[in-house]
Amino acid sequence: MKEVIFVINEAPEGGYEAEALGLSIFTQGDDWENLKFNIIEAVSCHFDDNVQRIVRMHYVKDEVLTA
């Protein structure tokens, strides 16, 4: 697998939560930069090889409006 896709949501307590699709990789970050660092670290720890992978971050913002 050369591409890993993460779904990013805002955490209820602040910051962000990330979950990889189809893999057991979960991480979080207090801000966007911290989250990116943690995702890269989590992916490298999960695969434990020297293959470079593309990471896609899909940010989901669930917002309810009335009209």
Identify the pLDDT of residue 11: 94
Task: State how far the Cα of 67 lies from the Cα of 14, in Å rounded to an integer.
Answer: 27
Identify the pLDDT of residue 38: 98
Strand order in the sheet with 26-29: 26-29, 16-20, 3-10, 54-59
Identify the pLDDT of residue 49: 86
Which pLDDT tens digit goes with each residue over 23-49?
999 999 999 999 999 999 999 999 988
Domain ranges of the chain: 3-59
